[in-house]
Amino acid sequence: MTERKKSFKPVNKTENRKTYKKYTADKTENRKNGNRKKSEKNAVDRNDKTVLKNVQPKKKTEKSLCPVSSKCGGCQLLDMPYKQQLEQKQKNMRKLLNPFCKVEKIIGMEDPFHYRNKVHAVFGHKKDGTVISGTYQEGTHFIVPVDECKIEDQRADAIIRDIRDLLRSFKIKTYNEDTGYGLFRHVLIRTGFHSGQIMVVLVLGSPVLPSKNNFVKALLKLHPEITTVVLNVNGQKTSMILGEKETVLYGKGYIEDQLCGLTFRISSKSFYQVNPVQTEKLYSKAIELAGLTGKERVVDAYCGIGTIGLIASSRAKEVISVELNRDAVRDAIVNAKRNGIKNVRFYQNDAGVFMSQMAEEGESADVVFMDPPRSGSDEKFMSSVVQLSPRKIVYVSCGPETLARDLKYLTRHGYNAVTAVPVDMFPATNHVETAVLLQRKNM
């Protein structure tokens, strides 16, 4: 076995010197580049406005319809063409609900802007004392100043801007969440789409508003369209906007508006859908899905101020409406009298507990309308629906994911989902309202 000899190239000193020079030059250049990049990064981190050499500028993005949309986070789809918004929502709804039932074409809006009839603004101030109002930055309690919102009622936005100026004129201090000092916390405005009535709710940390009569007089001079002003007291360190105690400073303390041919009284704490144009379409579709003939006994769970039950009452024999919120029940009773409706009864109770009691007492219902909050219904509530065993359930949902979760439960406990009708109640956002018809399997 012969040993393999290693072969060596002859040393070329000139070439080695060139290589070494190139290596040292590259190393020096790399070090310079590294230092440059480091200094550039530090300059960016310091928000340095100095123009940096050799920094590639970012590509310009299209200007948003709203200057604070990236901070606010409320309108995730604002800059997407409306047709494309509807297509995306339709696709998402089919993906979520196709395992349960067919999904009809989403019902959109002709004008998808300035639709919100309920507007909330939080008030605060900058370090220099300048009063600001707006919304909380998504996921935080930092205030994003807002002068005008593309989905809010424009009258409400104008009133909020002028209240901000009045606070300066009257030297009223805004509330500081960190210290608990200050007075003025929030403004809540509700507007009547058909009636034109406007309610302004001033939310304070204590019940004393300095020069309140002059303040209200100045506000009404700027906005004579305001029909009522309410002072709400919230002295708690809480994320809730409204407190329990209220005083009417001007007007009746509530507004009225028309929906599906009926008149409804709306107070500051009552639930009322924020998009009146789409609400009429949604409720009409929900009642259509129920297929009422005038002979049915209907339960309206989570009834709020009685909207669905009162609208459905002309097509049903009897409506039993249940709501936990005492203020909403009070409004609902007034709404029934206001519209001359006598076949609807209202109960202030937890809807799940109430229906369980109905079932235990041998009571029955033909149709249950359920319109829960975005978090959906808990299993206890749905168990009470199954226990009551109505022939039909019309589930009105504002949370597609929780709707899919609840349909899974109901379809495993004796019901078939027949059809789902999505309604775009919240243009420019990811949210969708949906009406779903379920029928008992042994029908």
Strands 297-301 and 367-370: parallel
398 is known as an active-site residue? yes
Q: Which amino acids are annotated catalytic?
A: 398
